[in-house]
Amino acid sequence: MGATKKKDGAKSQNAPPKKKQENEFFIAKGAKEDDLSDHSDSSDEEEVLEHEEFDGDEQDFGSGSDICSDVDDPLANDFLQGSDDEEKGSGTDLDLDSDESDIEEKSTIIDLEKAREKEEAEEEMQLNIKDESDEFRLPTKEELEEEAHQPPDLSNLQRRIREINRVLSNFKALRQEGTARKEYIEQLKKDLSSYYGYNDFLIGALVEMFLVVELMELIEAFEKPQPICLRTNTLKTRRRDLADILINRGVNLDPLSKWSKVGLVVYDSQVPIGATPEYMAGFYMLQSASSFLPVMALAPQEKERVIDMAAAPGGKTTYIAALTKNNGIIFANEMKAPRLKSLTANLHRMGVTNTLVCNYDGRELPKVFGNLADRVLLDAPCSGTGQLILAAIDTVDANSKSGGYLVYSICSIMVVENEVVIDYALKKRNVKLVSCGLDFGRPGFIRFREQRFHPSLEKTRCFYPHVHNMDGFFVAKLKKMSNLKPSVETSEPSETVEQEKRKASREQKPARKRT
């Protein structure tokens, strides 16, 4: 009983030291206020005395008690540690005050450093704003002559191109006083030619077609390589099966787009994509995405007679064969004999069996075939002058029950090779433009500079690298109305056509500028 009471007494006396430790803890955290009352100090002294008495009693009690055995040593050490902390209380307070002052000094230094950095950043930003707001001045003749005798300074050219674009985007506010827009445009054309290596004609044509901001997007897109695309040969496989096989070979690919059911786009490959067993077996054709479009617009049907006037190397011809399921007949014409090898090789590799290869000048095909074709594809060579399109129209049978269509396509975005050629064909033959069946792409021009085209040219489609992420392309689909050629002996019909064009133009909304 005595031991039990002693133990209870020890427990009852434990509370003050624990309270003291808690007070000491809050002192270490800086939470204790400096203006504590004298009454609080006297209470703490009493607690210290009680604690010392308790230690004396513990020593008198002896080591024979089970309660104060080695198991309780950690608790005893805590009590002793608390006593030591009390003895060092004054020194600890000084150390804490010193630490707090050091922390405050460091915090002040950090705040000052942040304020200085913020001030420097604001000064730099104001300097940049000032530089940008400064009036840009075109180089003088002397400066241009000096540049001409030195290697091109690409950084200076790039800066000047950027500044001219900025001025032209807000010409009234930013232009140099007494300087016309034409001067800025001329300097921009020279700088673009020097920086990108284009000739003056090409840059001049692009500047006339596009606004400055879009022109820069287009030129930058020209500098980037277009994605590698595959067209699945549906005569031998399905796109899903082909994709699984190529993925297992380490090819990273995806379906091309929603508008194509056979296209795949390749991001990277661990194997040569043009030398896989599947390629050799004719499961797919390496073909740009834009080359899909003319065949899709042509929409050949089974058992039709189709002419591909410029067939090599066979990408479009084999696509036509796949769509017709090797039914009907395809005349694949190629004027250049050396290119016939690649054409015939691809036809054999892709499993095409309904195609006849021929070697004629396209302008002579009407004499060879007459107007026997249900559909004709003319993927014209670039820089064509429109001579082939009349021959292509003459090979189409206007009385075809399922066809009578011609698709004209060209890998060009130039108006002189696109809209001008189609407008010429509309005047020379009994044809009309119909929808291409492509739900994307930009409509063709009906007005360009001083030129005015037939309003139906809005049914043509133009594709641009910076908009559609494919090579520049133009597609038009014509329906032949009669096998008879319009008379050109009198100008009266021509005048009637021009009057109809003007009337239709008035009914149309104001022409859209390509933006």
476 neighbors 422 (Cβ within 8 angstroms): yes
* CA distance linking residue 463 with residue 412, whole number of Å: 9
Alpha-carbon distance 415 to 419, whole Å?
5
CA distances to 153, 175, 252, 311, 484 from 184, rounded to whole Å, are 19, 9, 46, 44, 51
CA 229, CA 264: separation in Å to the nearest integer?
6
Closest listed residue to residue 412, CA positions, set 166, 270, 222: 222
Structure tokens at 76: 């005893």
Rounded CA gap, 365 and 391, in Å? 7
Residue of 68, 382, 411, 462 marked catalytic: 411
Stretch (H or E) spanning 53: helix 38-61
Residues listed for the chain: 515
* Secondary structure percentages of the chain, helix, strand, coil, to 5: 55, 15, 35
Residues 6+ apart with CB under 8 A from 236: 281, 282, 283, 350, 351
Backbone CA torsion sign across 318, 323, 325, 331: negative
Q: Alpha carbon 477 to chain centroid distance? A: 30
Element (DSSP H or E) covering residue 169? helix 154-169
Answer yes or no: 411 catalytic.
yes
Cβ–Cβ < 8 Å for 276, 456: no
Buried b (16+ CB within 10 A) or exposed e, 374-392: bbbbbbbeeebebebbbbb
Residue 505, judged by CB atoms within 10 A of its CB (0-12, 13-18, 19+), counts as: middle
Taking the C-alpha atoms of residue 43 and residue 25, their distance in angstroms, rounded to an integer, is 17
Closest CA to 480 of 437, 443, 425: 425
**What DSSP letter does each residue of 443-494 carry, written as one string?**
EPPSEETTEE--GGGGGSEEE-HHHHSS--EEEEEEEE--SSPPP-S-SHHH
Query: Using an 8 Å Cβ cutoff, are 466 and 217 in contact?
Result: yes
Active site residues: 411
